């Protein structure tokens, strides 16, 4: 039996698991998919928001700003790709500048540091790739970019190293209360007991709440289509570029990634289906039309892939994080859409406090290790360093993915850490993420998975 069971291994569940792993309790993390981060988190824009979009009265605003502060320490401990490149909100008219001023007031009320309203000369000096018609905007230096799946992998890897049990391909189908504990039942009939449960199930948090006879709410998927541009393209800005926001969206953005590519998007359309991740030519045209208004140098010719993510929204658009009023021992963590990635470390602290409020005794582990080891990566090495490494391990000389310079040794490491799908290896190593999008390396990757796991390629 576990002291705490967490349902959902996206960035929210992973952050909670990692935080709880520092205490003398038993923790389990349950994920319905084959690997962690394979739900909402894998199709994330990867922005660490500064904290100027949301009203100070909202829970998401408070946790967004707190979470932003925590990322430097997280990066130092876990080593995932993260950079504070800064965010620019670009205005093209006096009317839009009034909205920028309102955003500045919100950010100031949220205690966002270093915010600055800038005029035309200043904004163009900060970002020369912008459209020269810009009249000014908002500069938020504390904004940043992160590789979201690598963040989740690092959080879970560290949580497991500190004692958290991970169960993948484990879909909750029922929950029954017995004395002071919950019996969790999977679709295949497997069971586990836990004294307390955290519902961090993302798009399916409403269904999971129903299994516990807890609060009734309806998650509304908000679909966002995004388009990825080749890292060798010209005209890329060096900062995250926002337009003046729309009613239910921060708008179509131009986003540099930590690995050198560029994302354009997302759209924001509320849908009913929780598995609709298709993209359309119509939205491609619309997204690039809006993005090119801000950054004229970007081009559809540089697209290497497209994808869509679904954000789990609730009416009112705020986070719902609280002890259940109907189901004892259940913590609801629902409606974690943007800026959920930014807020994740702060959400973990908030949930820890709720569990303590519910009576969970938390004593710190004296042997908690907050760091993960950093394995060699061919792409980051000089020829001299690589030559020395190859003398010790020949698999580093076999480059499986030429676009991203990923070696066989790195792929094997990913498999041995539990990433046994093409997507898992892609997100862990970047093999298949380059210009050819796996055109050359997919068969090699399949062959290595088959060799290391015994699975048939089919």
Confidence label for 247 from pLDDT (cuts 50, 70 and 90) = low
- C-beta neighbour count of 101 within 10 angstroms: 14
For the segment 90-102, the average pLDDT, to the nearest whole number, is 96
For the segment 238-249, the average pLDDT, to the nearest whole number, is 86
Q: Coil, strand or helix: which one is 23?
A: strand
Angle between helices 422-429 and 442-453 (to 10 degrees): 110
Integer CA distances (angstroms), 375 to 372, 409, 413, 429, 443, in order: 10, 10, 9, 11, 24
Average pLDDT, the chain: 96
Residue 390: alpha-carbon gap to chain centroid: 33
Angle between helices 11-20 and 340-357 (to 10 degrees): 40
pLDDT of residue 375: 84
Confidence label for 233 from pLDDT (cuts 50, 70 and 90) = confident
* Residue that has been written with the tokens 């100070």 in this structure: 56
Q: Residue 90 and residue 448: Cα distance in Å, rounded?
A: 47
Q: Which two tokens stand for residue 48?
A: 């660490």
List, for residues 346-403, the tens digit of each pLDDT value.
999 999 999 999 999 999 999 999 999 888 999 999 999 999 999 999 999 999 999 9
Whether the predicted pLDDT of 248 surpasses 80: no
Q: Residue 103 and residue 138: Cα distance in Å, rounded?
A: 8
Note if 49 is an active site residue: yes
CB 243 within 8 A of CB 290: yes
List, for residues 41-84, the tens digit of each pLDDT value.
999 999 999 999 999 999 999 999 999 999 999 999 999 999 99
Whether the predicted pLDDT of 250 surpasses 90: no
Confidence label for 7 from pLDDT (cuts 50, 70 and 90) = very high
Integer CA distances (angstroms), 109 to 106, 260, 415, in order: 5, 33, 46
For the segment 289-298, the average pLDDT, to the nearest whole number, is 94
Q: Residue 189 and residue 404: Cα distance in Å, rounded?
A: 42
Beta strands in 179-297 (DSSP E): 181-186, 191-199, 220-229, 240-243, 253-256, 262-265, 269-270
DSSP string, 45-61: --EE--S-SS-TTSHHH
Residues 6+ apart with CB under 8 A from 382: none
Nearest residue to 182 (alpha-carbon basis) of 173, 200, 167, 194: 194
**Sign for the pseudo-dihedral over CA of 170, 172, 173, 178:** positive
pLDDT of residue 40: 95
CB 267 within 8 A of CB 224: yes
Q: Where are the domains of the chain?
A: 378-453
Does the pTM surpass 0.85? The reply is: yes
Confidence label for 235 from pLDDT (cuts 50, 70 and 90) = confident
H or E, element range at 4: strand 2-7
Confidence label for 161 from pLDDT (cuts 50, 70 and 90) = very high
For the segment 233-252, the average pLDDT, to the nearest whole number, is 86
For the segment 227-248, the average pLDDT, to the nearest whole number, is 87
Q: What proportion of the chain, given as a percentage, has pLDDT over 70?
A: 99
CA geometry: angle 351, 355, 359, nearest 5 deg: 165
Q: Coil, strand or helix: which one is 173?
A: strand
Residue 268: alpha-carbon gap to chain centroid: 17
Confidence label for 30 from pLDDT (cuts 50, 70 and 90) = very high
Q: Please classify residue 397 by burial: count the beta carbons closer than 10 Å to its beta carbon, then call 0-12 exposed, 13-18 middle and 19+ buried.
A: middle
Whether the predicted pLDDT of 232 surpasses 90: no
Q: Which residues of 247-275 are buried (b: 16+ CB within 10 A; e: fewer)?
A: eebbbbbbbbbbbebbbbbbbbeeeeebe
Nearest residue to 178 (alpha-carbon basis) of 191, 187, 167, 188: 191
CB 220 within 8 A of CB 28: no
Nearest residue to 265 (alpha-carbon basis) of 238, 247, 292: 292
Q: Does domain 378-453 have CATH number 1.10.10.1100?
A: yes
* Residue that has been written with the tokens 């930014």 in this structure: 342
Q: Residue 55 and residue 215: Cα distance in Å, rounded?
A: 25
List, for residues 193-217, the tens digit of each pLDDT value.
999 999 999 999 999 999 999 999 9
For the segment 281-300, the average pLDDT, to the nearest whole number, is 93
Q: Which residues pair with 119 in a beta bridge?
A: 136
- C-beta neighbour count of 424 within 10 angstroms: 24
Residue 328: alpha-carbon gap to chain centroid: 30
Q: Residue 212 and residue 199: Cα distance in Å, rounded?
A: 10
Marked catalytic residue, from 49, 54, 192, 239: 49
């Amino acid at each position: 039996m576990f002291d705490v069971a967490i349902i959902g291994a996206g960035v929210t569940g992973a952050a909670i698991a990692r935080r709880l792993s520092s205490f003398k309790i038993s923790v389990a993390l349950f994920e319905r998919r084959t690997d962690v981060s394979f739900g909402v988190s894998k199709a994330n824009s990867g922005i660490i928001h500064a904290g100027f979009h949301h009203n100070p009265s909202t829970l998401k605003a408070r946790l967004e700003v707190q979470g932003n502060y925590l990322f430097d320490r997280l990066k130092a401990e876990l080593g995932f790709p993260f950079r504070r490149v800064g965010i620019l909100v670009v205005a093209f008219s006096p009317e839009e500048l009034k909205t920028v001023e309102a955003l500045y007031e919100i950010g100031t009320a949220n205690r966002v540091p270093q915010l600055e309203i800038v005029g035309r000369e200043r904004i163009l000096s900060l970002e020369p790739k912008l459209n020269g018609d810009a009249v000014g905007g908002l500069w938020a230096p504390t904004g940043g970019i992160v590789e979201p799946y690598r963040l989740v992998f690092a959080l879970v890897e560290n949580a497991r190293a500190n004692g958290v049990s991970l169960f993948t391909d484990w879909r909750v189908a029922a929950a029954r209360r017995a004395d002071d504990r919950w019996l969790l039942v999977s679709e295949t009939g497997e069971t586990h007991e836990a004294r307390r449960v955290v519902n961090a199930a993302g798009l399916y948090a409403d269904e999971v709440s129903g299994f516990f006879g807890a609060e009734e709410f309806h998650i509304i998927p908000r679909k966002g289509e995004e388009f990825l541009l080749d890292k060798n393209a010209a005209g890329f800005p060096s900062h995250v570029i926002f337009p003046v926001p729309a009613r239910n969206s921060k708008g179509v953005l131009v986003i540099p990634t930590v690995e050198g590519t560029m994302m354009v998007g997302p759209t924001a359309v509320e849908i009913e289906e929780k598995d609709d991740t298709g993209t359309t030519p119509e939205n491609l045209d619309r997204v690039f039309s809006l993005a090119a208004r801000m950054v004229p140098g970007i081009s559809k010719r540089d697209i290497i892939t497209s994808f869509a993510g679904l954000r789990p929204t609730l009416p009112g658009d705020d986070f719902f994080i609280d002890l259940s009023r109907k189901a004892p021992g259940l913590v609801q963590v629902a409606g974690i859409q943007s800026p959920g990635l930014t807020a994740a470390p702060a959400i973990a602290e908030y949930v820890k406090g709720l569990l303590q409020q519910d009576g969970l005794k938390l004593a710190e582990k004296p042997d908690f290790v907050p760091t993960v080891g950093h394995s060699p990566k061919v792409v980051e090495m000089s020829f001299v360093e690589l030559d020395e490494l190859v003398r010790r391990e020949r698999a580093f000389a076999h480059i499986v993915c030429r676009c991203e310079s990923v070696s066989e040794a790195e792929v094997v490491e990913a498999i041995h850490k539990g990433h046994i799908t093409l997507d898992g290896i892609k997100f862990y190593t970047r093999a298949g993420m380059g210009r050819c999008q796996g055109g050359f390396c997919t068969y090699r990757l399949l062959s290595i998975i088959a060799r290391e796991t015994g699975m048939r390629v089919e």
